[in-house]
Structure 1
Amino acid sequence: MSIETLIQDPAIPAEAGAVLASPYDPTDFDQSVMTTYGRFPLALERGSGCRVWDTQGKEYLDFVAGIATCTLGHAHPAMVETVTQQIQKLHHVSNLYYIPEQAKLAKWLIEHSCADRVFFCNSGAEANEGAIKLARKYAHQVLKIDQPIVLTAHASFHGRTLATITATGQPKYQKDFSPLVPGFHYVPYNDIKAIAAAISELDEGDRAVTAILLEPLQGEGGVRPGDKAYFQEIRRMCDETGILLILDEVQVGMGRSGKYWGYEHLGIEPDIFTSAKGLGGGIPIGAVMCKAFCNVFQPGDHASTFGGNPFACATALSVCETLERENILENVQQRGEQLREGLHAIAAKYPKQITEVRGWGLINGMELKADSPLTAADVVKAAIAEGLLLVPAGPKVIRFVPPLIVSVQEIDTALQVLEKVMGSW
């Protein structure tokens, strides 16, 4: 679960975080901004590296990173330099014209993935929406299917637009937003028999499964890695049937898993995949990427006013090039192993509270026991009070997604705080 839904989940009290003292007066905020987020009473005003400071000067170690978004942490010199230069040069023009910065970023993404073509937008939801549209057009034009169906997984999360909350296999996100978009069907994650059965049952007349949309690792669904054999069998089935395989890499992609893309852990290549969050390091940008054979969009089929503008693309390219130049993937792998080793040690020390630790690279989850009264929100609140920012991934899973530049010492500090927090119950 994302932090913005804490207040909406009946398993987490509306007063989550209320015990934390904060001198920030939210009156104007609360009277002006729609209450779509359950906010902790914490107002942050600046950051540097993996640290942030609130309006009263208190320092926090940030293991949220904008929810897996601030790839290079806060105020990274490469981003500061690029942002400063680009805003003084050209920040936005229409996609009616060629944008050199867009071409450079697209070329980098193609050279570092299995993609042949890229479309830029502003967010993960928009990227997934674009992928769904691309798959539907492919189904109509190439597969000649009048009623295409997209299979997605239970406990998935694909965004907040009408199509992407429909694709999201969690009813709590869909409540009160009906009628939902037709053409979606849900199956259990990591269950190949369920996929095969759904394809067989749903193919009838003008209706057929034409795409399978999955996360390589389910983020909001509890930090659950995909099973390699499961994805390889899906890839085989898609190759045999012509069904498109779409991977949502919004949270796990751009190096967070220890590889550029989550699919690299699974030994497969998708036909279409999406990116956002970490792509711009905190500057809004998303991308739909695809193989050449399913590149069926034509002028007028899809567009975005802000998508791929010079400012966002220049910044995202600086993030990409820094990841490569500074060999940050190696840091992700090493710090991820260090973090999981420490989390396993804490789990072993508190077996009545913790049931499992899982993840890839620097996206990791620690699951609390179902019969424990302790919730993820309880742990997050206590950690904030101790100067550590964490984020839930459901009522019982604490998520650890620090910037990819996190150091040995910062991992150790986070583990020390967590152990202190767990020992307080």
Structure 2
Amino acid sequence: MEAILGIIIFLIIILSFIKLRIGIAIYLAYLMLVPYMQIHFAGLTFSYNLVNLIILLAFFFEFKVKHNYKINFKPFIPFFILYAGYFILMLFSEGTPFDYMIDKYRQNIMQIFILAFVMWNIILCTPSSIKLFRNVCFICIFIATIYGLFLTRMEGVNPYIMSLMNITGNEYDIEYLTRDTGRMFGRIASVFLHPMTFGLYLGLSSIFICSYFKKRANIYILLILLVITLINVFTCGVRSVIAGLGITGLFYLLLLRKLKAFIWSAVFIGIIYCIISSIPELSDYVMSIGDTKSTNIGGSSLELRINQLLGCFDVINNNFLSGKGFNWHYYYLQSHTSHPQLLYFESLIFVILCDFGLVGAILWIIYSYKMFHYTYNLGKLKQTLFPLSNTIFYLSYSCITGEYGYMQIFILFYIIMIGEIYVTQTSKSQ
């Protein structure tokens, strides 16, 4: 397995200098299907940081040395504002070693932005490449969802991830993945290391597929792919994805200004909630939304979530404005396994408050506003509906479950979706 992955990574690097968009397309597929990169091959150790750095060098060689293309950063301005704010807050934070924060900050930037940045500029310079990136996504979604359905018969056993665990030396937690708390098929991670990451991928993929129904001629292939993806939504054992898609659906109706449909949908959801609350078995099943680690249903109850929110202010009582430091929640979990009150920091809100304090919360509001403002103004509403919806799903899902490296997956879908808008507008203007 390690030799195969090493050959693929080596191929990505070589092709990136020969035919950049092909190398990037293979790298996109790798990130969507292989949740690990610390590969020893031909006497070298390939890691995310090294490969991303090489990809960036290949990009500048192609764009500046060979062709002197103009480089565009515009979609990344909201992210730059967010991470510039992070850096400033790090200077005033207490509770996390500065060298640890700098190392994690560097890793975040390289893993989140480099591939998306390169893809965006390739799309601008070679609009036909959007078809390649789009098809790579469709193929990856198909592989991940078909494998997800296969795993419904395996009762927690995931041969692919187990073979990756043999390379990493990590323990495969089959007890967490097997049937419990009303999950008919247990928790399914498919090609990802954790079921929650698969849940995020399914939600983003569902919206991504829907965005092409009015654009592509082969509607039946898209419909089959969407059906397979939605079946996985209900079989993967991650109820948070259902909640995230529900919130996104309501937001979609608001964007379309279908207030009557929005009100009736909200009323319907309220009635369903009341029915579920009155039936103990159903209540136990649904109210465990957001339970990423523990099988204790109470760990995700509304009352405990409120207590966790209040606990955030106890954590930052000595540094209310700037919080405990960049990635403090990860730093804490590495040392203590779980927090006595905040458990596994199972909400993006908890992460923001604990790591960055009140200023960090304001920073995220600015980031979200900038994201929506930029996306909304890219084109007509019917073009921007789905990129906006994907952003809402990412935010709502993260607020329900926490932020476990989800932005890296979200930004890839986001860039391809806004790339489609650019290509559509370019073709119309020609």
Query: Considering the TM-score relative to the shorter chain, is it more than 0.5?
Result: no
**TM-score, normalised relative to structure 2:** 0.32
Query: Greater share of helix residues, 1 or 2?
Result: 2
Could you say which structure has the greater relative contact order, defined with CA pairs below 8 angstroms and 6 or more residues apart? 1
